[in-house]
Chain A
């Protein structure tokens, strides 16, 4: 059973704006899922709907098998949320804020656990400092500590590294990796493709309230590891020469160029042999060039295709 099950979720705001247009998504236990999308794609709305901050117009969401509306107590007890904005009570001390969060989620006080959380996030020395005395990076850690105070099984991080310097971003990634080792399921939203590449197990692409793709990062990376070699010919040909049938070549419509996909990670790319066979078959090569797929290309391609479809 997936830890989070999202089925046909729609969210229409009072003004009529549809922020989510039938989103379905399963999030598996113990994984790190990165939700990638431009600003206004619906990432925060989706997270807010799962956590109970936003009411959905249609569809259903279950966390650990519990419906987030009818069994909100059970569902919300499993979930921790780190919001995008630095929403913190300025006059409260760090430790008081973390204790408050634990209590709010119905848990008995546990000072040992709170000390462990604060130490892990390098906040122990600052435990008696007021939140308003902390730097931006420290405040972000306080938000994480508060979200972890009730030992959630699922943690949502909404743009955890937006506006954060490089060093803190690395720190954040390490923290996420540690939490994963403890078995926490993590969903993070980001519009940095590198971030998804760096820490996610799976990547979901969301735009204009629709999920465009959810795929293992590994298979995405394989796609990204592929390169395309385009060979332009001096004279157009009608069909791929039989001697080159071993290669999975694509002939352009005008017959003027051949495209060959290959894996840069493989021992042999087969390019040398291909060129030899091509010359033997009597084809004159005018030019060659290569191109690499990146996650960004895939992302841009998906978003562009969606725009075309909605325009059509």
Chain B
């Protein structure tokens, strides 16, 4: 294992984050506050409770997931796309590192940033609503796995993208709709039966449901199914990354 290489990549990626630490910190705080004003205060005043939990508190796990997923994807995809774009990827390709080391460096950094933002949102939310966390261990596991798996997905998107438009395409056209329709702001049981069936094809539903269960003990799907879904998703992403490096797809000529 080339540990210095993993550390070098990780530090390099984190340096980008620290250069803009203020934005990294302030923007999730502001956006979370806005969500609470709009959903919590304006809409939430009309929706009293969801399954015994105040609406303001109910949306917290979904809000965290929403930001963590989008941040993980955008950080990881940019992290690997930028060296491709400016040509510095030659150094990674000619260095004595294997795919696992490159992934650990890039994905590790992207996951760290996403985790940081998740924690900031959790902290901000605590100012607005009373939060309880019934299953903290499960909450941490779900949060970590989501950070890692969506960073892996972002990494794949970054390698796949040939230009900046493509870099934005998948997050915009696929991930954002899935996240918004994934029960971040509502319970699946609130949907008409037909749409409930459709919702179960959305992988994000399982993540949000499991994560929400960790807070309130409420879930749309059994917790074991949620865990299986996130583990399966992580495994698929890992396999895809492994294949990319084995074949050199879009990185080695």
Where the two chains meet, the residues of A that have a C-beta atom closer than 8 Å to any C-beta of B are 13, 48, 51-55, 72-77, 79, 81, 83, 85, 87-92, 96, 99-108, 146
Contacts and interface: CB of A to CB of B under 8 A. Distances in A.
Interface of B: 2-5, 7-9, 11-12, 15-16, 19, 83, 86-88, 90-98, 248, 252-253
Contacts of B9: 104
A90 B11 CA distance: 16
24 contacts: A48-B253, A53-B90, A53-B93, A53-B252, A55-B248, A73-B98, A74-B96, A75-B96, A76-B96, A83-B87, A87-B88, A87-B91, A89-B88, A90-B86, A91-B16, A96-B15, A100-B11, A102-B4, A102-B8, A103-B8, A104-B9, A104-B95, A106-B96, A107-B4
A96 B8 CA distance: 10
B7 A103 contact: yes
B96 A72 contact: yes
Contacts of A146: 91
Given A103-B4, A104-B9, A85 B95 contact: no
A75 B96 CA distance: 8
A103 B13 CA distance: 14
Given A76-B96, A79-B94, A104-B97, 19 more contacts: A51-B94, A55-B253, A72-B96, A73-B2, A75-B96, A76-B95, A81-B91, A87-B88, A89-B83, A89-B88, A96-B12, A101-B91, A102-B4, A102-B8, A103-B7, A104-B9, A105-B5, A105-B95, A108-B4
A54 B253 CA distance: 5
A141 B5 CA distance: 23
Given A53-B252, A53-B253, A104 B19 contact: no
B7 to A, nearest CB: 6
A69 B9 CA distance: 23
Contacts of A48: 253
Contacts of A103: 4-5, 7-8, 11
